[in-house]
Structure 1
């Protein structure tokens, strides 16, 4: 499909930018705009929907914790989803923008929950209803909410790969030795995605011809020192994904994550990849970790944002460039990063 460019952004060079930069005086159109966010309570005001609408995104991506239900009562869960669907500004967004996304523990139904949650199939049904997935969609027959969609823009494309880090995720290891909640499992023990989803993901990456491949993970992939939920609690799965991305030769792989009630950019080099892997965390929409005093993250680029915010990615195919922005109330850009992909 042909996507109409929605707005023009002037390239600003910042300290956390890629080493390869476009000239200061070159004005570039955004060929595609992706907006995303996570951690959204329906009993708290969301002051950001008007700002999301103002970015005129081509797609809105829910990063998880889209409501806070923490329940196996499907009537209560459905009621909360309906409250969110009827929120006036969000309703405007659904009328003008495609909606994609995944879930996390608080809309899945069990805090820090995984494969053991007995109501997960019923919860999946309610989630798919919230996402307006047709009754005859193959997703209705799939275990887990993972899915993908390719967006074609003239001669270019973006492949959205949405993961489910809940349905198959196995037991976590409590940290009884420090003040942290969790510690990494023994290497090789447990899984984030489960066998079926891993096979599906490998095929998605290996078969992709898209200019960019966006992987949506409800929990952080790179940051792994904070002691909360993250891919780092399964270190062998971190390595597996890195090797899979590198071996696939997929172009422009980017990870989007949520969960943490802070927003930040993490970035690393992976052997065999010609560009760095960025994990863009955007959280939360209605409540943030305002008492944040710092935590280690060896992959962090720039500063942590610990006020309510959402994320946008502005794609420019001609320059092979993505502008990443953390946006707060009144459309204020709180942190930004640019990356050129070769």
Structure 2
């Protein structure tokens, strides 16, 4: 009996010890029909893997690749699950040094459904938010803490979105951070371990773009000398499907993915962006290579809904701050290319501004093009919208408080629609609008 107690105590101590090695996560990245990615961060070198099974056959378990975490990339691990099947739900466990971890919330996902040529597109929801500031008093600016209402992440998780879109300014690099790899990885680590984030990250797919505060200093552009280092950190801490269109050139983090009958285009508005104040040379947000990649990709997309995600506002008519209106020629080029190529079903999503609003641009003979700005999640709230004239603002859509958005794709093939719904920090509806697919044709 004494030996059994000793063995039990040793097993309990070992499990507890491995639990203490977890820094943050797990975070669910992309999920395809036959493959998924899960991200985990440990506090020290460790061996990490994932065990997963379908509730339909829980005795049949599968194991991901095993990753030995190292200090150079902040002990992060990207784990590939290769045995999933279309439309199936899976429960998963994280194992550190072969010991399974325990969580007080579910850890599960559902593989992408194979619906094409078989049935109507499935209903699904996508959460959206930007500007997430986590306080760190030792290096934050003096005064009232800039971040607050972190319960908003619990409210998002309670909506059980299939996907969470992080719309930029997801970590807020500060003066103590952006000049060193140590500072950059510290800020990512500190932000990612926020306890309210964990259930949301574990059960919804997470995709991210960046804006200036993830990329470098405020309003940072292509001249930022450490941009390749912040790009590597972005890759280490997120689990998007791809980054840029040429991995050998390491040319930004723009990419695309699809779910249901929507394709999402994640644009990089920083890596190639020309300086705001430069008077000579090209004036660009995306850069020539990314710009043409985007036009090619959105033109050839076969998905009815084409959702374009970018850090700054695309349709706000006020040519101030870093609105795309201050880069008029490139903005107009995109609008012209969409029209000349008869691209249908486009909706822009943006953040950055610390307030939320819907902008709509009615194009002659074409559908109204929308840009839904959703901001902020937890950072300071701005009232600057009251001091600028956005001629494209949809009446009643302006909100200046902590908030998040939810996009719901629903209806059969003859009545497919997209519902935009804005919520406060507690998950209560502030505003909504339904846009039918026919209106986007």
TMscore range, shorter length: 0.7 to 0.9
Give the alignment of 1:236-275 within 5 angstroms.
236-271=329-364, 273=366, 275=367
Question: Partners of 1:214 and 1:285 in 2: how far apart?
Answer: 20
Question: Partners of 1:279 and 1:314 in 2: how far apart?
Answer: 16
Question: Partners of 1:248 and 1:279 in 2: how far apart?
Answer: 20
Structure 1 unaligned segments of length 5 or more: list them. Answer: 5-28, 175-184
Give the alignment of 1:242-321 within 5 angstroms.
242-271=335-364, 273=366, 275-289=367-381, 291=383, 294=386, 295-301=388-394, 302-318=396-412, 319-321=415-417
If asked which structure has higher relative contact order (CA below 8 Å, sep 6+), I would say 1
Shift of 1:224: 3.1
2:405 is paired with a residue whose SS is: strand
Give the alignment of 1:220-231 within 5 angstroms.
220-225=313-318, 227-231=320-324
Question: Partners of 2:325 and 2:295 in 1: how far apart?
Answer: 20
Q: Hey, what does 2:263 align to over in structure 1?
A: 159
Q: TM-score, normalised by structure 1?
A: 0.81
Q: Hey, what does 2:423 align to over in structure 1?
A: 327
2:347 is paired with a residue whose SS is: strand
Out of 30, 41, 52, the residue aligned to residue 133 of structure 2 is 41
Deviation track 1:168-200 (CA, whole Å, cap 9, x = no partner) reads 0102139xxxxxxxxxx79x9511111110121
Out of 142, 150, 154, the residue aligned to residue 258 of structure 2 is 150
Partners of 1:205 and 1:248 within 8 A in 2: no
Partners of 1:30 and 1:314 within 8 A in 2: no
Over 3 Å counting, the alpha-carbon distance change for 1:114 and 1:331 in structure 2 is: same
Question: Partners of 2:365 and 2:332 in 1: how far apart?
Answer: 13
Question: Partners of 1:215 and 1:68 in 2: how far apart?
Answer: 23
> Size of the alignment, in residue pairs?
302
Divergent runs of 4+, >4 A: 1-4, 133-140, 290-293
Partners of 2:244 and 2:253 within 8 A in 1: no
Question: Partners of 2:385 and 2:370 in 1: how far apart?
Answer: 23
1:305 is paired with a residue whose SS is: coil
1:201 is paired with a residue whose SS is: helix
Question: Partners of 1:264 and 1:309 in 2: how far apart?
Answer: 11
Deviation track 1:123-175 (CA, whole Å, cap 9, x = no partner) reads 10001111035899977543111000122x3xxx211100001010102139x
- More displaced 10-residue stretch of structure 1: 218-227 or 203-212: 218-227
Question: Partners of 1:190 and 1:251 in 2: how far apart?
Answer: 27
Partners of 2:244 and 2:255 within 8 A in 1: no
Shift of 1:50: 1.0
Partners of 1:287 and 1:307 within 8 A in 2: no
